[in-house]
Chains A and B, each alone.
Chain A
């Protein structure tokens, strides 16, 4: 009779754990497969990029957001809408460069790193590098060429996780190859 055991369990919580655990297993497997941290970072970035270029469609369709007029607006939408929608967190936008083309996202509790401790011999590994790739990929699809990298990482003993975004250039409308 009392077989229905998991009713009391918060399934929402479990599903975010599921995400963290799945991601963790993927990273662990990549650590097994590749020797250099740089190579692992590259793979994670690539995965993120591929996710980013597709998830932007889902994002635009669901949020109904139009074009941004400047990079500050882009920053706001990334933190308040996109991060909120996909990861359930709202990073703080800060540290603007004087020219307005660079800013940082501060993440206090990164949902990907819930069960993670980095071993000492992987000091170069950017565990959550997939986020950088995803932002780069998604922004590329709205014609923004952006560099994304980690400045601080809580996994490496910093107080906060800081991701830096730098606007490089606007990508011009281009016709697909083979069409005139």
Chain B
């Protein structure tokens, strides 16, 4: 059983290390997102191995907000909203990685690099349910953070 603090440090260190792998910051961010994707993808596989098939998209989203998020961040997502047309907004009032940093606008410019990984987590999880999506994160004041999920219909 790995310790929570250790996991936080690992994530913080991961961000720094990945940002040094390429000069182009966007490439680094997409690497972090990809890392999240892989992890989210495999965690969902382990979590749902004994569960029955989910009926609707909304059920899947609820699963992400409750079970999936609890495993990752030891709490559920605080608020889930949707326009019923393929856009979901997941709101975290106190996102753990950001809560370590600030509770104001201070260091706001650093927030995006710590959110690429969780965005990837959500996208990877959904991908394993067969849902293609684009996930973006939005912070206006730390540690509140909103993840917007746009489902891609084909």
Contact = CB atoms under 8 A, between A and B. Distances in A.
Interface of A: 2-6, 8-9, 11-12, 14-23, 25-26, 28-30, 33-34, 43, 46-47, 50-51, 54-55, 58, 85-88, 111
A6 B47 contact: yes
Contacts, number: 110
Given A12-B1, A18-B43, A51-B10, 15 more contacts: A3-B62, A5-B48, A9-B50, A9-B67, A15-B2, A16-B2, A18-B71, A18-B72, A21-B43, A26-B17, A26-B18, A47-B16, A47-B17, A50-B16, A55-B6
Interface of B: 1-3, 5-7, 9-11, 13-14, 16-18, 21-22, 31, 34-35, 38-39, 42-43, 46-48, 50-52, 54, 59, 62-63, 66-67, 70-72
B6 A22 contact: no
Contacts of A2: 52
B9 A51 contact: yes
B45 to A, nearest CB: 10
Contacts of B13: 47, 50-51
Contact of B52 (A5, A18, A21): A5
